[in-house]
Amino acid sequence: MRLDGKTAVVTGAASGIGRATAETLARAGAAVIIADLSQDKGEQEAERLRGDGLKASYVAIDVASDESIAAFAKTVLGRGEVHVLVNGAGFGKGQPFVDNDAAFWERVVDINFLGPVKLTRALLGPMIERKSGKIVNVASDAGRVGSSGETVYAGAKGGLIAFTKSLAREMARYSINVNCVCPGPTETPMLMVLPENHLEAFKRAIPMRRFGQPADIANAILFFASDLSSYITGQTLSVSGGLTMA
């Protein structure tokens, strides 16, 4: 699965799944734009990839800010075409729904749902004109089957799944593929802050008896970003070690 000559934007690419995705796409030949709120980590990651002889650059973005998204799109499109967009930035925290406040809800929805919607719209025009493009949204199995302590997060990710399917229907006429990857429990900073007993319970529930690695998710994203998935659109792929099979 090669992406030579392609430019790929990956949000949330300074850590976790986004970081693994940026590296995987770069090793497949893409020129990767690392899009992240953390300038220090983003620039370090771009430098690390360039040190391995790969094509990578960092451009700042806050997916919860309309102004930041607009500035990001202007910068990126000013450099040339974007062939692949991976909406990988995410935010969540385990907490009972009744303990959430409105500010928390808004942040969860802004980052996990509205951010991808707005960035996709900002980068979509040239894809439509070119009649080609790959959009991969990173949702969560929480959005497919629910997750205790992540109710609004699950709602936002469920919205992203539905957005994926609907946009895929609209964009098919332009040969733009829109698909969704849903990670199960994956060894990222967001998961590993949970208490040890919760982590062990999670692991016992997974048929493969291990957490996903960021690279497991990145490989699925690479498939959707590549030409091997050219006749696949509007699909949701769980990468969960068998935890969810519905």
Using one digit for the tens of pLDDT, what is the confidence trace for 73-90? 999 999 999 999 999 999
Structural domain contains residue 245: no
Structural domain contains residue 2: no
153 part of the active site: yes
Structural domain contains residue 244: no
Query: How many domains are contained in the chain?
Result: 1
CATH number of domain containing 189: 3.40.50.720
DSSP string, the chain: ---TT-EEEEETTTSHHHHHHHHHHHHTT-EEEEEES-HHHHHHHHHHHHHTT--EEEEE--TT-HHHHHHHHHHHHHH----EEEE---------GGG--HHHHHHHHIIIIIHHHHHHHHHHHHHHHHT-EEEEEE--THHHH--TT-HHHHHHHHHHHHHHHHHHHHHGGGTEEEEEEEE-SBSSHHHHTS-HHHHHHHHHHSTTSSPBPHHHHHHHHHHHHSGGGTT--S-EEEESTTS---
Structural domain contains residue 72: yes
pLDDT band at 67 (very low <50, low <70, confident <90, very high): very high
pLDDT band at 246 (very low <50, low <70, confident <90, very high): low
Expressed as residue numbers, the domain containing 210 is 7-238
Least reliable range by pLDDT among 81-95, 193-207, 210-224: 193-207
- The share of the chain scoring above pLDDT 90, in percent, equals 80
Supply the pLDDT for residue 231: 98
pLDDT band at 170 (very low <50, low <70, confident <90, very high): very high
Residue 140 has pLDDT above 80, yes or no: yes
Residue 220 has pLDDT above 80, yes or no: yes
Structural domain contains residue 1: no
Structural domain contains residue 246: no
Whole-structure pTM over 0.85, yes or no? yes
Q: What tens digit of pLDDT does each residue of 179-197 get? A: 999 998 888 776 666 667 7
Supply the pLDDT for residue 135: 98
Active-site residue identified among 58, 153, 174, 231 = 153
